[in-house]
Amino acid sequence: MKTTAFTRRDFLRAGIAGGAGLAGLTLLSHAGLTQAQAPHPDHAAQAGLPPIGHGAHAATDGAVGDVDTSAFDPMQYLYHFDFGRVSTLPNGQTLREWDINAINREIEVAPGVFFPAWTYDGQVPGRTFRCTQGDRLRFNFGNGADHPHTIHFHGIHPPAMDGITPAVNPGERFVYEFDAKPFGLHLYHCHAVPLKRHIHKGLYGVFIVDPPGGRPPAREMVMMMNGFDTNFDGENEIYAVNTVAFHYAKHPIQVKVGELVRVYLVNITEFDPINSFHLHAGMVKLFKTGTRLDYYEYTDIAMLCQGERAVLEFTLDYPGQYMFHAHQSELAELGWMGLFEAVA
């Protein structure tokens, strides 16, 4: 049998991410105890266990400190939709235009853990582009980085606009222009080769095409499930939604009890074939790829392949904190865990 060396991944798990990772694990195990299963406080004390409820504060223990949110604020990213510069074409069609530049930038994926990223406009993920089905879209792309890059959009468009060729060399520009269809939750990412490297380094973002007439009003947010191979050994050391490990565990996402929440969930994680989103103490309506207005499943786990997307709708019916995380424990342990806080 092959023995495995103590890798940096193990080190990170035990150490750097460990402050958060172990707290996350502690919280997971505590949260797994229901009132009925939990030992009686007296018995717990005899057994040297903390009383029931002790674990409820574990999430806020998290990793020590915070990332520099002036460089990238996951809370701002969560709610930010970029509708572009809007004008009307002579034929009456709405034109939306964006300028995007590829640049290299070091990003912070956990407090004190930096990753040399390739980015669209300096952030990972790139901005969330949003439009309505039938709009004309124009993306003015410039490559200010040091490798050839492209932007490949999911959805229907002419092959020439598909972002595989031409590879846009450093210092060059290319304009992607097409009509937005179909409505749904799509994504965009670099499609230069080697593909795995160009995506994993950070060149990706969310692309939402709204149905004509929109969706029902809701508190909307974007969650990109991603991972970072900080030592380039072909597996991820850090996982998150929206780049920063455990950020929403330390800063719970505030919602109102009973209000409709809509999460645009995208999986761009490299190296792991699947990722997942599991909501505690609630159930979600899952709209696969967001391309139909009737929901596909009523569930508490959305399991997504690489590149797959789902729109999730739910309400939180009681005040308090609701955990959400990858149901693959290893991914949760390495950063992919957060909390909603429902307030009355």
Residue ranges that bind Cu ion, judged by CB under 5 A: 149, 190, 192, 198, 203
Minimum CB separation from Cu ion for residue 198, in Å?
Answer: 3
Minimum CB separation from Cu ion for residue 308, in Å?
Answer: 21
Residue 102 near residue 142, CB atoms below 8 Å: yes
| Pick 55 or 163: Cβ nearer Cu ion | 163
- In which residue are the tokens 């865990």 written? 337
Q: Is 193 helix (H, G, I), strand (E, B) or coil?
A: coil
Minimum CB separation from Cu ion for residue 189, in Å?
Answer: 8
Residue 336 near residue 249, CB atoms below 8 Å: no
- In which residue are the tokens 């958060």 written? 20
| Pick 103 or 303: Cβ nearer Cu ion | 103
DSSP secondary-structure letter at 112?
Answer: T
Q: How far apart are CA 120 and CA 90, in angstroms?
A: 31
DSSP secondary-structure letter at 5?
Answer: -
Minimum CB separation from Cu ion for residue 299, in Å?
Answer: 34
Q: Which helix (H) or strand (E) holds 184?
A: strand 184-189
Minimum CB separation from Cu ion for residue 149, in Å?
Answer: 3
| Pick 192 or 238: Cβ nearer Cu ion | 192
| Pick 16 or 168: Cβ nearer Cu ion | 168
| Pick 113 or 192: Cβ nearer Cu ion | 192
What separation in angstroms does the CA of 221 have from each of 150, 155, 261? 26, 21, 8
